[in-house]
Amino acid sequence: MAAMQIGMIGLGKMGGNMAERLRRAGHDVVGYDRNPESSDVSSLDELVQRLQAPRVVWVMVPAGAPTRATIDQLCEALSPGDIVVDGGNSHYLDDKKHADQLGARDIGFVDVGVSGGVWGLQNGYALMVGGDADAVGRLMPIFESLKPEGEDGFVHAGTVGAGHFAKMVHNGIEYGIMQAFAEGWELLEATDIVTDVPGAFKSWRTGTVIRSWLLDLLVRALDQDPDLSELKGYAEDSGEGRWTVQAAVDHAVPLPAITAALYARFSSRQEDSPAMKMVAALRNQFGGHAVASVEGQHTKGADAPGADVTPPIDGH
């Protein structure tokens, strides 16, 4: 596979390792990051000057405003025949705008959904590519070096936007799988029935229907902190999950599992649940059911006749 020259913008957890994987494969990589400590050049303009035309520049910065600003700058600095690759987790609807903006100057655009996280340097990166066949063909030596060894780990998913749409759905699935593992773990931990919870997860790594890399990573996390006591039950999201749900609404496709997983993250960020306060207040209003006060005590409803503590639920 022919060695190429490529500019990499954004040398963080992803771009830094991707640049290193490309260098190990023999490519000439010039990296630019706004953080001078990790950058090979002092500005985006210097990066462009260091590259020989026709240039390839891979953008690997946070999605949204940083990616848009970088593509605006590249549109000014690059020349006809060059190609810009957006490998960040950008919204798929941004891709058409970027392709049109760059295309007006005869600069090509390819969107790539990248998966592999901080393990990609050693394992390779799965790539989901959107763009026209000529541009994608020119980039194949780069893709071949980034992807994992073997047949899988690469798809030319369609025209511009298809790469990021595929990655968005991938991440939606990621939300659902993680949530299912997390809920299973909570149930096992909440009961005394299985006495070796980490052992149960370990045993599932081989031969089971649910063996997977996420399961391997779950086992690794429990090895490091067996009951996750060092963590708070708080999970951020960076956009892909909500965009998956938004796309599902736009196309009237039911995604109950992925949607629930997204909402579970929102719930994790609440110290208390305003909605559940209202549910408690309404139960108290109509049924005189006990509520938990902010002091943590169960109290009777002030005006409800005969309000008392809810009896235990008999599940059988």
Ligand X SMILES: O=C(CO)[C@H](O)[C@H](O)COP(=O)(O)O
| Amino acid residing at 148 | P
- Of residues 240, 259, 290, 301, which one binds ligand X by CB under 6 A? 240
Give the residue, chosen from 20, 46, 62, 237, that forms a contact with ligand NAI under the rule CB under 6 A.
62
Q: Is 254 exposed, middle or buried, given 0-12, 13-18 or 19+ CB atoms closer than 10 A?
A: exposed
57 binds ligand NAI (CB under 6 A): no
Give yes or no for residue 13 binding ligand NAI (CB under 6 A). yes
Distance CA 224, CA 24 (A): 31
Residue 288 touching ligand NAI (CB under 6 A): no
Beta bridge partners of 155: 128
Left, alpha or beta for 150 (phi > 0: left; psi -120 to 50: alpha)? left
Query: Is 68 or 265 the residue whose CB approaches ligand X more closely?
Result: 265
174: tokens are 């990621």
Question: Is position 167 annotated as part of the catalytic site?
Answer: yes
Stretch that binds ligand X, among 20-28, 212-220, 236-244, 292-300 (CB under 6 A): 236-244
Q: Does 117 bind ligand X (CB under 6 A)?
A: yes
What is the distance between the alpha carbons of residues 178 and 132, in angstroms, rounded to a whole number?
A: 34
Residue whose CB is less far from ligand X, 55 or 125: 125
- Answer for which of 66, 148, 184, 198 binds ligand NAI (CB under 6 A) is 66
Q: Which residues pair with 272 in a beta bridge?
A: none
User: Which residue in 20, 46, 144, 174 is the catalytic one?
Assistant: 174
- For 159, the token pair is 């025209």
Residues that bind ligand X (CB under 6 A): 89, 115, 117, 171, 174, 237-238, 240-241
